[in-house]
C-alpha cells in the first residue's frame, strides 16, 4: 500500500465499470481494494465470466487486490426476485443486499471508507444507490465515499474495448436481461419507423 494513502473498500459490479472509479479514486489519494459481491448476475456462467474478467484485469493491468465476498444466490431470490419487474423496488433491494455484504467485509477487514463502482453506469438508479449505501455505511460505522462517476462512462466504454474486456449487455438479473431485450427491440422498431417516414 502507498504511504499516506487512504484504504477504501470498493464494491465492484464488473471489470469495465471498475476502470474509471479505480483510476479516479487513486488520483484522489485512496488505495482501493475491490470487493466482489454480486449474486444478482444470472445465469451462473455469466456471473463467473464477469468475475473472471474483473480478476484478470485486476491482476494483470490494475494491480489491485480483489476480495471475493459472499455471493448468496438463494438470498437474492428470496429478497430481490419477488419484486419482479418493479424496477425501483427490485434494484433498491438488490443494491441493499450487495452493498450490505461489502460494508460487512469493510468492517471485518478494518476499512473506514467504502464506495461502489455501480454508479459509473448511467443505467443504474443513482439516487437510490446513494441512499442505500449511505444508510448501510452509517449503520456499520463507515464513511461512504460517494462520487458521480457517470461522466466517465464513455471513457470506461472506450478503455474496456481497447483492453478487450468482456462487456455485458444487461445489468445482471434475468429481469434486466428481459428489459434490455425489450429496449433493443423498441429502439430497432423506432429506427425502422423513422426510416419509413423519411422515405414516405
Contact residues toward ligand SF4 (CB under 6 A) are: 40, 80, 90-91, 94, 171-173, 175-176
Residue 180: CB minimum distance to ligand SF4, A: 9
Judged by CB, which is closer to ligand SF4: 6, or 49? Answer: 49
Distance CA 144, CA 138 (A): 8
C-alpha distances (whole Å) from 195 to each of 183, 190, 191, 192 are: 18, 9, 6, 5
Q: Is the peptide bond before 29 cis (omega within 30 degrees of 0)?
A: no
- Compute the least distance from the CB of residue 61 to ligand SF4, in Å: 25
**Look-up of cell digits 474478467:** 53
- Of 11, 24, 15, give the one whose Cα is nearest residue 150: 24
Cell of 197: 417516414
Closest CB to ligand SF4 among residues 50, 90 = 90
Nearest approach, Cβ of residue 164 and ligand SF4 (Å): 24
Residue 21 vs 172, nearer CB to ligand SF4: 172
Strand, helix or coil at 70? coil
Q: How far is the CB of 132 from ligand SF4 (least distance, A)?
A: 10
Closest CB to ligand SF4 among residues 62, 92: 92
The answer to whether 52 touches 74, Cβ cutoff 8 Å, is no
- Maximum CA extent, the chain: 67
Q: Are 152 and 24 in contact (CB under 8 A)?
A: yes
Cell of 9: 473498500
Specify the residue, 118 or 144, whose C-beta has the smaller distance to ligand SF4.
Answer: 118
Shortest Å, Cβ 46 to ligand SF4: 11
Amino acid at each position: 500500500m502507498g504511504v499516506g494513502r487512504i484504504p477504501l473498500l470498493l464494491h465492484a459490479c464488473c471489470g469495465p465499470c471498475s476502470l474509471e472509479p479505480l483510476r479516479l479514486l487513486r488520483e484522489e489519494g485512496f488505495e482501493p481494494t475491490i470487493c466482489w459481491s454480486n449474486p444478482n448476475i444470472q445465469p451462473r456462467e455469466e456471473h463467473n465470466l464477469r468475475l473472471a474478467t474483473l480478476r484478470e484485469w485486476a491482476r494483470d493491468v490494475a494491480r489491485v487486490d480483489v476480495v471475493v465476498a459472499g455471493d448468496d444466490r438463494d438470498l437474492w431470490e428470496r429478497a430481490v426476485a419477488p419484486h419482479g419487474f418493479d424496477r425501483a423496488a427490485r434494484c433498491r433491494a438488490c443494491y441493499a443486499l450487495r452493498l450490505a455484504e461489502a460494508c460487512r467485509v469493510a468492517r471485518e477487514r478494518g476499512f473506514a471508507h467504502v464506495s461502489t463502482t455501480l454508479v459509473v453506469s448511467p443505467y443504474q438508479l443513482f439516487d437510490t444507490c446513494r441512499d442505500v449505501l449511505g444508510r448501510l455505511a452509517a449503520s456499520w460505522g463507515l464513511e461512504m465515499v460517494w462520487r458521480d462517476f457517470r461522466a466517465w462512462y464513455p471513457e470506461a466504454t472506450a478503455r474496456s474495448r481497447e483492453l478487450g474486456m468482456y462487456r455485458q449487455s444487461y445489468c445482471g438479473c434475468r429481469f434486466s436481461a428481459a428489459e434490455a431485450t425489450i429496449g433493443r427491440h423498441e429502439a430497432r422498431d423506432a429506427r425502422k419507423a423513422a426510416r419509413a417516414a423519411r422515405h414516405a
